[in-house]
Amino acid sequence: MTTELDTPASSNRLADQPAYDPNHLLDSLIDKLQLKNDAALSRALEVAPPVISKIRHRRLPVGASLLIRMHEVSDLSIKDLRGLMGDRRDKFRISDKQFKPKEDVDQTSAG
């Protein structure tokens, strides 16, 4: 069953945004840093080459840590980097599950 909230038009997922193009971001970084190819970009960002490939083929999103690393290497603002890949969202929502404490923590080994 599909509801109106499940449609891409109302989705806040970056991959569902019509302007989303991670290739533009990667190509812009290669140009700005005067690199030869994706392998050189992966070395500059200190990530494995398959990460860049997966981002290019939209199998992996540009994560926060990678976006921060891109900012550090290129001196482009996070807002500019997001703009290069077509991310025009105003708000970001983080799942409340990320802030819940782990329930299975063994309290006896802490002391």
Looking at residue 88, what is its pLDDT? 72
- Read off the amino acid at residue 86: G
Count the domains in the chain.
1
Domain annotation covers residue 30: yes
CATH of residue 58: 1.10.260.40
In a domain, 64, yes or no: yes
pLDDT of residue 26: 96
Question: Is residue 70 a part of any domain in this protein?
Answer: yes
User: What is the block-wise mean pLDDT of the chain (111 residues), using blocks of 10 residues?
Assistant: 45 61 94 97 96 94 93 94 83 59 58 52
Look up the pTM and report it: 0.68
Position 86 scores a pLDDT of: 87
pLDDT at res. 19: 73
Decide if 109 is inside a domain: no
Q: What is the pLDDT of residue 20?
A: 80
Residue 106 has a pLDDT of: 58
pLDDT at 5: 42
Q: In the prediction, which pLDDT does 91 show? A: 60
Q: Which domain holds residue 59?
A: 12-86
Closest CA to 55 of 89, 25, 17: 25
